[in-house]
Structure 1
Amino acid sequence: MRAPFAAPLGADFWKLWTSSAVANLGDGITMVAGPLLVASITTNPAAVAGAVLAQQLPWLLFALISGAWADRLDRRRLVVSVNALRAGAMAVLALAVGFDVATVPLILTVFFLLGTGETLADTASAAFVPAIVAEPQRPRANSLLFASFNVLNQFAAKPLGGWLFIVAAAVPFAVNALTFAVSAALIATIRAITPARSRPSPVDADAALAAAEPDGVRRPGLWSEIGEGMRWLLKHRLLRTLAFTMAVGNVVFCAAFAVFVLYATRVLGLSDVGYGVLLVAFAAGGLLGTLVAPALIRRVATSLLLRTGLVVECALHATLALSREPWAVAAMIVVFGIHTTVWGVVVTTIRQRDVPPAMYGRVASVHSFLELGGAALGSLLGGVVATAYGLVAPYWLATLAMALVAAAAWRGLRAATLGSSPEPEAATSP
């Protein structure tokens, strides 16, 4: 098993990795600088919150549509075009800020366009790894991609974004425009990634052939193609279980952490600095997860990794509900961060193996829709529950919900492997 993990990943992968790393840095910088820019123009809390919502909303509106387009077009050209357009939008914003003519409507419009482009670019680029990396090497490849996110987006970009904004308000947005341009240039050098070129999956090969457009036959409508992707996911027992487990997990996680700053300061008695340290603990756990994920995947049964992850989810929320010791909470958060990365690498690798290349964008977009829809619902739910029942109530609710989810998913996760694909009958039975 050691040789496949040690084998070279290839020039195309390293171009993809570098592009992802650069984009993650730029995204993280704007994530910090965007709200700071709005807050420098207006003190309206709704406007400041709108800067975040403007980038999240397109996932709820366009995720499924973007998945269908990612399966219709040359994915490389799509990502290059979208990143070039996002570079232009950020350049316009940087110029507006530099000449002191930026307004809240302009900022929100640019961020909405960025989020819309993200639905297309992220969905299309999700299909790159299974097309350019051999199956035995994908856990390592996915771990490296998660590592670039944790190091650059979560660690480096946050303080850098704040510092660049202090230097000059336009600088972080100019830097982000440059990162989009560099990312587009790197992706342009990768070989074409199209559904027809990708290697067919052994699972549900008939669906993959049906998704291809024969010569002279009119292509189905957009919504018909979206429905095809949703039906494929619902028929695949393991991926269906993972998708809905992650959706419910996001609801309760975001419900619990919508009031995390108040929990940290009022329940744990931490200062603003202590709250920041807890946030760093999430990133630290994620980084550790990227380091240990390949070894765990080699040595531990996939079903055990996923089941253990559900136990960790329950343990995190139970710890926050019961403990008043910051060190215990921080330690549990680090463990949770490790779990989220390992879980992400495993689930991504399974999806890359089992989903037919011709419908990868649509299936991935359903996952994104469920996860981000769950996150939005959870944030709303957390505020309501905390207001009605106290700051600790969302963590008790999350503990109970995840225990029920674990019990419901436990048997379905038995079939999870990262070896050769399961037989179609086993994988697609309802």
Structure 2
Amino acid sequence: MPGRTCFARPRRSLRGRLSVVPVTVRRSGPGGGAVTTAEASGVAAPAWRGGFGRLWSAAVVSRFGDALRTAALPLIAVRLTDDPLVIASVTACGYVPWLLFGLLGGAVADRVDQRRAMWAVDTVRGALVASFALAVGLGHASIPLLFVLAFSLTTLQTLFDNASTALLPSLVDPEALGSANARLMTGQQLAGGLLASPFVPLLLAAGAAVPFAADAVTYLLAAALVAFLRIRAPERAPRPAGSTLRAEMADGLRALRRDRPLRAICAATLLCNIGMGALIATVVLHVTRWLHTGNAGYAAVMTAYSAGSLAGGFVAQRIANRVGRVRALLLCVGVQTSSLVLIGTVRQLAALIVGMALLGAMGMVWNVNQVTLMQQRSEPSMVGRIAAAFRTASTSGAPLGALLGGAVAQVYGLNGPALFAAVLFALAGTALIPALTPDVPVVEPDDGATTAHVTP
């Protein structure tokens, strides 16, 4: 499909000056075509009225309920068993579906009406959690039931998350994608990281089933909000005769592999996820046994991480406007590597709090810019599949990192996982170098004369 160029769109340059620059967007779909337009600096903000406001509200409400369930689930598990391996396996069930069904979820998300898929999934998830709340209330909770719940919810999430990523470009202008992603992620972090925490003990005091019942209500409310979204239907080319889901999943993998910046960012994200998996899995030991600061210290560290994430959401787009999205990612790994070295070498709670706050802030900056780049560089009909390929490849690092973190802590000491993570983050910075190619074209001009490039 021939490229399409948009000329002389006023925007602010990376240094903040108002400039007129021809904007183009390169696509790397299976047909090699180039279709939509996107801007590198993206200073525009999405309008709250209409579709984006509803999507933001649905995401925040749903994340609030998820936080309630996530906090209550381990407490139910420890009432049913004292086997650490069994309890850890409940958490593992939250990762396995991404490895099994992540690519399938992306292919389905590109085939169907994403809005309908999202509200249907949330309705089913609400019914599942409501049924579990009823089982808990009647005293019928069991470990196998926990496995089924965790596995089922994450399996449905593979479709929901990929559909959500593909839907957002239909709700906001291309130049507003960065701001939209920042607002979505910041709102979710605020709801899940800070607001939900005080409610958990209150709800648990009212009964073990109450947090799950509340989560079910938030799913159904989010489904209602998404059901009434008004969106611009993306243009989709007819699927070739005989096209299968398997072939379409392969198309997503090929598109990710052919796009050098996205391929490099995916490799870097995988390395970072291994490092964060190692750190998060052992941070409770770092706090309580290496620093000897007890539960209060652990609470302070987790609060610092959440607060840092919120701060990162507010500055993510500003940093991208200043230095570009790919260089913003490189800045993130530099700051995070230094933070991990601080955490692993300075045996003070204050150092850990500062380090975790910086990790949270730069993690949010990374997430906002990584998702925005993926949306901008993906053909509209393939956003779900490319997002699924990206998530499946990078998510596999978290459980691997958790296992490696435990082994490193056992062999090299309780501060070892932080230093191990620092090495991986430094390697992630090296992996990003191919994405820093100057003048990466964002749409190939179709007139044979015009050239337009965007510095990453």
Change (3 A) 1:98 1:327: same
Counterparts of 1:127 and 1:12 in 2: how far apart (Å)? 14
- Does 2:288 match 1:265? yes
Q: CA deviation at 1:91?
A: 1.2
Q: Name the aligned partner's letter for residue 304 of structure 1.
A: R
1:307-342 Cα shifts (integer Å, max 9, x gaps): 211211211221122111221221122122111111
Other-structure match for 1:33: 72
Other-structure match for 1:288: 311
CA contact (8 A) 2:103 2:389 kept: yes
Counterparts of 2:379 and 2:301 in 1: how far apart (Å)? 40
1:89 aligned to which of 121, 128, 131 = 128
Unaligned segments of structure 2, at least 5 residues:
1-10, 13-17, 19-42, 446-450
Q: Percent identity?
A: 33
CA contact (8 A) 1:307 1:413 kept: no
Which residues in structure 2 correspond to 1:177-326 (within 5 Å)? 177-191=216-230, 197-198=233-234, 209=237, 212-213=238-239, 217-218=241-242, 220-326=243-349
1:14-56 Cα shifts (integer Å, max 9, x gaps): 0100100110001111001111112223323233223322222
Per the alignment, in what secondary structure is the counterpart of residue 140 of structure 2?
Answer: coil
Change (3 A) 1:275 1:223: same
- Does 2:75 match 1:49? no
- The number of residues matched between the two structures is 409
TM value normalised by structure 2 = 0.84
Change (3 A) 1:415 1:95: farther
Q: CA deviation at 1:367?
A: 1.6
Counterparts of 2:431 and 2:122 in 1: how far apart (Å)? 40
CA contact (8 A) 1:9 1:141 kept: no
Counterparts of 1:101 and 1:409 in 2: how far apart (Å)? 50
CA contact (8 A) 1:34 1:51 kept: no
Q: Name the aligned partner's letter for residue 162 of structure 2.
A: T
1:256-310 Cα shifts (integer Å, max 9, x gaps): 3321111112222312111110111110100011122232233333343222112
CA contact (8 A) 1:289 1:338 kept: yes
1:373-423 Cα shifts (integer Å, max 9, x gaps): 000111111111221222222233222232233234235334588xx8254
2:442 aligned to which of 410, 415, 421 = 421
Counterparts of 1:129 and 1:60 in 2: how far apart (Å)? 24
1:59 aligned to which of 98, 112, 117 = 98
Q: CA deviation at 1:118?
A: 1.0
1:356-376 Cα shifts (integer Å, max 9, x gaps): 111111111112112220001
Change (3 A) 1:94 1:256: closer
Q: Name the aligned partner's letter for residue 247 of structure 1.
A: L
Change (3 A) 1:138 1:166: same
Counterparts of 1:400 and 1:45 in 2: how far apart (Å)? 29
Q: Which moved more, 1:51-60 or 1:338-347?
A: 51-60
From the two aligned structures, give the one with the greater helix fraction.
1
Other-structure match for 1:339: 362
Superposed CA RMSD in Å reads 2.3
Per the alignment, in what secondary structure is the counterpart of residue 55 of structure 1?
Answer: coil
TM value normalised by structure 1 = 0.89
Change (3 A) 1:7 1:363: closer
Q: Name the aligned partner's letter for residue 377 of structure 1.
A: L
CA contact (8 A) 1:252 1:397 kept: yes
Q: Name the aligned partner's letter for residue 80 of structure 1.
A: W
Q: Name the aligned partner's letter for residue 386 of structure 2.
A: V
CA contact (8 A) 1:79 1:124 kept: yes
Per the alignment, in what secondary structure is the counterpart of residue 47 of structure 2?
Answer: coil
Other-structure match for 2:51: 12
Other-structure match for 2:37: none
Other-structure match for 2:448: none
Change (3 A) 1:281 1:126: same
CA contact (8 A) 1:33 1:162 kept: no
Q: Name the aligned partner's letter for residue 401 of structure 1.
A: L
Counterparts of 2:297 and 2:333 in 1: how far apart (Å)? 27
Counterparts of 1:41 and 1:332 in 2: how far apart (Å)? 36
CA contact (8 A) 1:19 1:182 kept: yes
CA contact (8 A) 2:99 2:396 kept: yes
CA contact (8 A) 1:303 1:416 kept: no
Other-structure match for 2:209: 170
CA contact (8 A) 2:256 2:262 kept: yes
1:207-252 Cα shifts (integer Å, max 9, x gaps): x85xx415xx23x222211111001000001011111100011112
Per the alignment, in what secondary structure is the counterpart of residue 44 of structure 2?
Answer: helix
Counterparts of 1:377 and 1:185 in 2: how far apart (Å)? 37
CA contact (8 A) 1:256 1:395 kept: yes
Per the alignment, in what secondary structure is the counterpart of residue 292 of structure 2?
Answer: coil
Counterparts of 2:185 and 2:341 in 1: how far apart (Å)? 27
Q: Name the aligned partner's letter for residue 87 of structure 1.
A: G
Other-structure match for 2:7: none
Unaligned segments of structure 1, at least 5 residues:
200-207
Other-structure match for 2:177: 138
Other-structure match for 2:397: 374
CA contact (8 A) 1:303 1:414 kept: no
Change (3 A) 1:10 1:116: same
Counterparts of 2:439 and 2:308 in 1: how far apart (Å)? 24
Counterparts of 1:335 and 1:232 in 2: how far apart (Å)? 33
Counterparts of 1:66 and 1:416 in 2: how far apart (Å)? 33
CA contact (8 A) 2:51 2:231 kept: no
CA contact (8 A) 2:170 2:231 kept: no
Q: CA deviation at 1:162?
A: 3.3
CA contact (8 A) 2:260 2:434 kept: no
CA contact (8 A) 2:119 2:224 kept: yes
2:385 aligned to which of 338, 356, 362 = 362
Q: Name the aligned partner's letter for residue 157 of structure 1.
A: A
- Does 2:147 match 1:108? yes
Per the alignment, in what secondary structure is the counterpart of residue 350 of structure 1?
Answer: helix
Other-structure match for 1:329: 352
Other-structure match for 1:22: 61
Other-structure match for 2:39: none
